Amino acid sequence: MSVEKIIEKSKQSEASLIENPIKPSGKKLFLESYGCAMNFSDSEIIVSILSKEGFTTTKDFNEADVIFMNTCAIRDGAEMRVRKRLTDFKKVKKTNPDLIIGVLGCMAERLKSKLLEEEKLVDIVVGPDSYRSLPELIEIAESGQKAVNVLLSKEETYADIAPVRLDSNGVTAFISITRGCDNMCSFCVVPFTRGRERSRDPETILKEAQELYGDGYREVTLLGQNVDSYLWTGGGLKKENLSTEELNNATSFAQLLEKVAMVNPNLRVRFSTSHPKDMNDDVLHMVNKHENICNYIHLPVQSGNSRILGMMNRGYTREWYMERIEAIRRIIPGCAISTDSITGFCTETEEEHKDTLSLMEWVRYNFAYMYSYSERPKTLAERKYKDDVSEEVKKRRLQEIVALQQIHSGERTRAGLGKIHRVLAERISKKSSNELSGRNSQNTTVVFPKGNYKPGDYVNVLATDCTNATLIGVVVV
C-alpha cells in the first residue's frame, strides 16, 4: 500500500476512532518505551489508538501478538540498547512466526526503511508523527509484507486523542504541549527525528488537564522540547508570519501556564524543558504568581563555555545563561534548578571543560542529567566538526562533573532539613509499605510515614533526615 493510501485510510480511521465503539480483537500488545518523557507520553497515544482497535496491553512479551519498541536516537548508546533488546524478541518470533515486531519513535524516524535491512526480524517502522496509521500498518504486516511510515508532519499534535495512562500512579501525568523542535543545536538529532515545532491548541490542553483532575490526578507536567517557544496562533501559523494584532491575540507559554494553573488550585503544574535563550521573565513571574505552579525549572546549559556554546548553536553565552539563573533567583526565591550537560563536545579543551565545572560551582544545581558527547549522523556537528576528544577524556570529564554534582545535590537536599514541605503523596515507598513517597514543589523526593494518608493527598512534612537526594520526615498537621 502506498504511503498516500495509508494516510488516507488513517484519516478515515481518525474519524472512526470517535464514532466506533471498541472492537474486541483479543490481540495483545507489548510496548516498551525508551528515551525522554515525550516518548513515554507518545506511548500513551499509541496505546489509545490501538485500544480502539481492540488491543489490550500485556507486560509479558511471550504472550504478545504485537511487540512495539518506542525508541530513542539521542545517543549511540540509546540505539544500541534497542538493537540488543531486539535479540530477546528473536527467540519469541521463532516460536511464534505470526508475531509482529515494530520499531517506533525516533530511531525509526532516523533510520527509516534502512532499519528493515539491518534488523531482519522487524516488520514495521513508524515515525513519531505517523501513529494514526498504526492499525493499517499492522494489517499490512499481518499479510506478510513489511510496513513503513516515517512521514513527518507540520500539523500533527494528536490533540484529539485521549492518552491511555500507562504505569500510572493515578496522581501525576504528562501533557504534551508542543511537538518537534525548530532549534538546530549542532549535536542534536531531535529536529531530524521529530520534525518542525508545532504548538497544540490550548483548549485541548485545558480539557486534558480538567479531565485528569476529575479522574483524581493532582499534578500535570507540560511537555515540549522548548516549552518557552509555545505559541498558539489559532492553528499552524508561524510567529514570523503574524501581524502585531495576531501576535497580541496568540497564547504564549506564560499565558498557557496560567490557564492550566487555574484549572484547580489543587492541581500542581510542572513543565519541561525550558530553553535558556527563550525563557523570559513573564514565565518566571507566572510561576511566582500561582502557588500551584511548582518552584522548579529544568534549564539545560550543555556547556559552561561560550565558545563551545557557540559551536553547539545553542543561541546563548555563559553570561546570558548566568543572567537567566539570576532572574530565576530574583523572581522565584527558593526555586530549584536542574540542568543537562555534555562533556567532550568537539574541540573542547581542558580549560573549557573547567568552565563547565566553575559554572556548576556558581549555580549549585539541585540536580543534573550529564552525558558525554555522542556524535549523531546528519547533525550539524557531524557535518562540520571533528569528534576529536577521545572517549577516555570524555568519560573522565563526565566523571568529574558527576562527582561535583553529587556534592551539590547533597548540599541542596540537606538545606531542606528542619523545614516543613508541602508534599504531594504519589506512591507507597519502594523501601517500606508503611511509608509514602512524594515530591515537594522543588521536585525533591520526600518520604514519610503513611498513617491514614494515600497517594493524591497533600501532606505537610517536617524533614528530619535525608540521603543525598531524598528527604525523610514526619507529618505535621
Q: Which residues bind ligand SAM (CB under 6 A)?
A: 36, 74-75, 187-188, 190, 225-226, 273, 275, 300, 302, 340, 342, 371, 373-374, 376
Shortest Cβ 343–ligand SAM spacing (Å): 9
Is residue 341 near ligand SF4 by the rule CB under 6 A? Answer: no
Is residue 193 near ligand F3S by the rule CB under 6 A? Answer: yes
What residues from 255 to 284 belong to the interface with ligand SF4 (CB under 6 A)? 275
- The alpha carbon of 246 is separated from its chain's Cα centroid by a whole number of angstroms, namely 30
Is residue 317 near ligand SF4 by the rule CB under 6 A? Answer: no
Which of ligand SF4, ligand SAM, ligand F3S, none has residue 305 at its interface (CB below 5 to 8 Å by kind)?
A: none
Is residue 185 near ligand SF4 by the rule CB under 6 A? Answer: yes
Rounded Cα distance, 147 and 141, in Å: 6
Angle at CA 296, nearest 5°, toward 290 and 297?
110
Query: Can you read off the three cell numbers belonging to residue 353?
Result: 571543560
Among 86, 104, 141, 190, binds ligand SF4 (CB under 6 A): 190
Spatial CB neighbours of 55, under 8 Å, sequence gap ≥ 6 = 25, 27, 28, 29, 47, 66
Across the chain, how many H-helices and E-strands are there?
16, 21
Among 36, 150, 332, 359, binds ligand F3S (CB under 6 A): 36
Which of ligand SF4, ligand SAM, ligand F3S, none has residue 191 at its interface (CB below 5 to 8 Å by kind)?
A: ligand SF4
Closest CA to 371 of 140, 75, 158: 75
Among 183, 204, 280, 317, binds ligand SF4 (CB under 6 A): 183
Closest CA to 219 of 452, 425, 72, 453: 425
Which of ligand F3S, ligand SAM, ligand SF4, none has residue 39 at its interface (CB below 5 to 8 Å by kind)?
A: ligand F3S
| Identity at 165, one-letter amino acid code | R
| Identity at 5, one-letter amino acid code | K
Helix (H) or strand (E) holding 56: strand 56-57
Which of ligand F3S, ligand SF4, ligand SAM, none has residue 75 at its interface (CB below 5 to 8 Å by kind)?
A: ligand SAM
Closest CA to 367 of 420, 425, 407, 421: 407
Shortest Cβ 405–ligand SF4 spacing (Å): 19
Residue 201 DSSP code: P
Applying CB under 6 A, what is the total number of residues that bind ligand SF4?
A: 9
Please state, in angstroms and as integers, the Cα–Cα distance from residue 121 to each residue in 94, 110, 117, following that order.
Answer: 10, 18, 9
- Residue closer to ligand SF4 by CB (options 339, 442) is 339
**What angle, 0 to 180 degrees and rounded to 10, lies between the N-to-C axes of helices 134-142 and 3-19?**
120
Which of ligand SAM, ligand SF4, ligand F3S, none has residue 441 at its interface (CB below 5 to 8 Å by kind)?
A: none
Spatial CB neighbours of 22, under 8 Å, sequence gap ≥ 6 = 51, 52, 54
| Torsion of the alpha carbons at 294, 297, 298 and 302, rounded to the nearest 10 | -170
Give the binding range for ligand F3S (CB under 6 A) out of 67-75, 336-344, 356-364, 438-446: 67-75
Rounded Cα distance, 343 and 346, in Å: 9
Helices marked H in 332-422: 350-363, 380-384, 391-414
Among 64, 74, 137, 423, binds ligand F3S (CB under 6 A): 74
Give the binding range for ligand F3S (CB under 6 A) out of 66-74, 140-148, 326-334, 433-441: 66-74
Query: Can you read off the three cell numbers belonging to residue 32?
Result: 516498551
Give the binding range for ligand SF4 (CB under 6 A) out of 188-196, 244-252, 289-297, 341-349: 188-196
Give the binding range for ligand F3S (CB under 6 A) out of 85-93, 185-193, 281-289, 342-350: 185-193
Site string for ligand SF4, 206-225 (x = CB under 6 A): -------------------x
Which of ligand SAM, ligand F3S, ligand SF4, none has residue 376 at its interface (CB below 5 to 8 Å by kind)?
A: ligand SAM
Shortest Cβ 192–ligand SAM spacing (Å): 11
Query: How many residues are present in the chain?
Result: 477
Provide the sign of the torsion angle of the four alpha carbons 177, 217, 276, 402, taken in this order: negative
Among 190, 336, 370, 459, binds ligand F3S (CB under 6 A): 190
Among 6, 50, 106, 312, binds ligand F3S (CB under 6 A): 106
Is residue 188 near ligand SF4 by the rule CB under 6 A? Answer: yes
- Residue closer to ligand SAM by CB (options 10, 302) is 302
Closest CA to 122 of 152, 150, 93, 151: 93
Rounded Cα distance, 20 and 388, in Å: 56
Is residue 194 near ligand F3S by the rule CB under 6 A? Answer: yes
Binding site for ligand SF4 (CB under 6 A): 181, 183, 185, 188, 190-191, 225-226, 275
